[in-house]
Homo-oligomer: A and B are copies of this chain.
Amino acid sequence: MASGTQPAGRPAPAAGGDPAADLRARIVLSWLVEPGHRIIHSLVERYSATAVLDFARAGDLPEPRLRESVAARLRAADPDRVADAALAGAARLGADVLTPGDDAWPAALDDLRHLESTARDGNTRPPLLLWVRGEAPRTLLGGAGVAVVGARACSPYGSHVATDLGYGLAERGWTVVSGGAFGIDAAAHRGALTAGGATVAVLACGVDRPYPSGNASLFERILATGLLVSEWPPGAAPHRHRFLVRNRVIAALAAGTVVVEASPRSGALATLRRAAALGRVAMAVPGPVTAATSTGCHLALREEPGARLVARAADVIEEVGRWGADLAPLPRGRETVLDRLPPDAAAVLEVVPPSRPAAADAVSGAAGLPVRTVLRVLPLLVDLDLVRAVDGGYVLGPRRP
C-alpha cells in the first residue's frame, strides 16, 4: 500500500498530505483520464494528486478537451464509489496498489517523465499508480527484467524462439516482462515459467480479469510465482487503445526489449521504439526473410538506430547485462586438426596429391617450400593420418581433408 515516504527528486506534496487521500485521488485520476496524460502528470507533480482531483471536480483543468472529457466521466459515476469499488476489488484478490512513494515502486518507470511525447501518442508520462497481483514479492518489478514481445499471430518458429528466450532468460535469473496476449507474449511467459522463473505480465485491463480469457491457465501460473500488473483498476476493460498506452510501461520496466516476431505495423515495434527512446536496449530476433512474421523485426534492425540483432538468450544478456560478466561466447564451428596445423604443414598438405604419390622434392616445388622443411613436416602429417607414405612418395591419407 502507498506509504507516506517521499521519493528523491520529487517536489513535496501539499502540506498535510494524507497517504490514504493521495492514493484515493490517484485511483480516481487514473479513472478520470487515461494513464500517462502529460497535463495530469505534470499537475500532480507540481501540486498533488488530491489538489488535481479538486481542480478536476471544480472544472479548473486546462484545455477544453480535457475539461470536457473529465466532466463527462464525472457525470457517469461518483468518484468516491469508483475508488471504493477498486480498493474493495483489490482486497478480494489480494492485490496491492503501488504509488511512487512506495519502496517497491519501480524507479525505472520515472524515466518515462523524460520521454518525448508525439502528437500521435501523447500518453507517455509515468503511471500514477500500479495495481499488482500475484505471489512474487513486489520488488520483482524493480529487478533485472527483459521484455520479450511480439505478434499475437506468430509462427511456430516465433513461438519456439520466444519460449526458448523466456526459458534462457529465466534460467539465468532474469525476469521476463511481457503483455498477456496470445502468441509471442504467452510463449515467452511459458518458457520462463518452465525454467522455474518469475514473470511479469503488464495488462491493459484490470488484474482481476486478465485478458484474453483463453490464456486463463497461463495467468494462473503467472500468479503463482510472478505478477500481473496494470495501471487500470480491477474491473477495467481492455479497450483497444489501452494496449499502446500500456506498452510504455513494458518498455520502461525492462532493461531491454526484444521483439521476436512482428509485422511492420505491430505494436511490438512501438514498444521497441519506446525502449530505445528511454535509453533501454532495443533488440530484435531475425527470421527467414521469406516470412511475413519477421518483416517487422528486419525493418527494426535496418531502420532503428542502435537496434541489436539477438539470436539467443546469451545474446540478450550480453546486450542488457554488465559488460564482461555476461559476455556471450562466440559461436564457433567445430575445430578440426587442420586448424591446429603449423603453417608449413598446412602448406605441404595442400599439395600432396590424392592418388598418385609425389616425391618430397616434387612436394617441395609445388608447395614453394625448401625440401628440408617438407621432410621435417611430412612425418607429422603421416602421424596424423593426413598423409600416407608409400613407395616412391606421399599421397593423402585416411584422414585427408
**B-contacting residues of A (Cβ < 8 Å)?**
32-34, 68-73, 75-77, 157, 160-161, 239-241, 263-265, 285-290, 294-295, 298-299, 301-303, 308-312, 315, 330-333, 346-347, 350-351, 361-362, 364-371, 373, 401
Q: How far is the CA of A71 from the CA of B68 in the complex (A)?
A: 95
Kindly provide the distance from the CB of A283 to the nearest chain B CB, expressed in whole angstroms.
10
CB-nearest residue of chain B to A31: B368
CB-nearest residue of chain B to A160: B290
Are B288's CB and A287's CB within 8 A?
yes
CB-nearest residue of chain B to A285: B289
Are B295's CB and A301's CB within 8 A?
no
What are the residues of chain B within 8 A of A350 when measuring CB–CB? 239-241
Q: How far is the CA of A370 from the CA of B74 in the complex (A)?
A: 11
Are B311's CB and A309's CB within 8 A?
no
What are the residues of chain B within 8 A of A302 when measuring CB–CB? 308-311, 315
Given contacts A77-B365, A301-B301, 16 further A-B contacts (CB under 8 A): A33-B368, A68-B369, A70-B368, A72-B371, A75-B365, A76-B365, A76-B366, A157-B290, A285-B289, A286-B309, A287-B287, A289-B312, A299-B330, A299-B331, A302-B310, A302-B315
Are B401's CB and A240's CB within 8 A?
yes
What are the residues of chain B within 8 A of A240 when measuring CB–CB? 350, 401
Using A286-B309, A365-B77 as known contacts, say yes or no to A331 and B161 having CB atoms under 8 A apart.
no
Contact of A287 among B286, B333, B366, B367 (CB under 8 A): B286
A70, A75, A287 pick with most chain B CB within 10 angstroms: A287
What are the residues of chain B within 8 A of A315 when measuring CB–CB? 302
